[in-house]
């Protein structure tokens, strides 16, 4: 069983608006950055991971992580 991750609402409270989605197959290595606006605040990142299917290798499942980079670019 995979650990539960933070909710999209928690992520947005930190100023993060996007996620990085990595293919569950480490040999594939495909990843994509997307906006997280489509998911409601009460949904956990771990809740959506099993729904993804890689467009490169067709593996089901993903590792979804907050994309902190855009949030950091505005500070400094």
pTM of model > 0.75: yes
Contact between residue 8 and residue 43 where contact means Cβ atoms under 8 Å apart: yes
Name the strand (E) or helix (H) holding 34: strand 31-35
d(C-alpha 76, C-alpha 65), whole Å: 23
How many angstroms separate the CA atoms of 64 and 22, rounded? 6
Q: What span, in angstroms and rounded, lies between the C-alpha atoms of 17 and 4?
A: 19
| Gap between the Cα atoms of 75 and 41, Å rounded | 24
pLDDT tens, position by position, for the chain (76 residues)? 666 799 999 999 999 999 999 999 999 989 999 999 999 999 999 999 999 999 999 999 999 999 988 655 444 4
């Amino acid at each position: 069983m995979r650990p539960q991750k933070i909710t999209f609402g928690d992520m947005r409270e930190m100023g993060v608006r996007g996620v990085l989605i990595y293919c569950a197959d480490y040999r594939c290595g495909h990843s994509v950055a997307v906006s997280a606006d489509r998911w409601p605040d009460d949904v956990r990142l771990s809740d959506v991971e099993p729904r993804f299917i890689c467009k490169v290798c067709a593996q089901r499942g993903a590792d979804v992580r907050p994309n902190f980079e855009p949030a950091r670019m505005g500070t400094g």
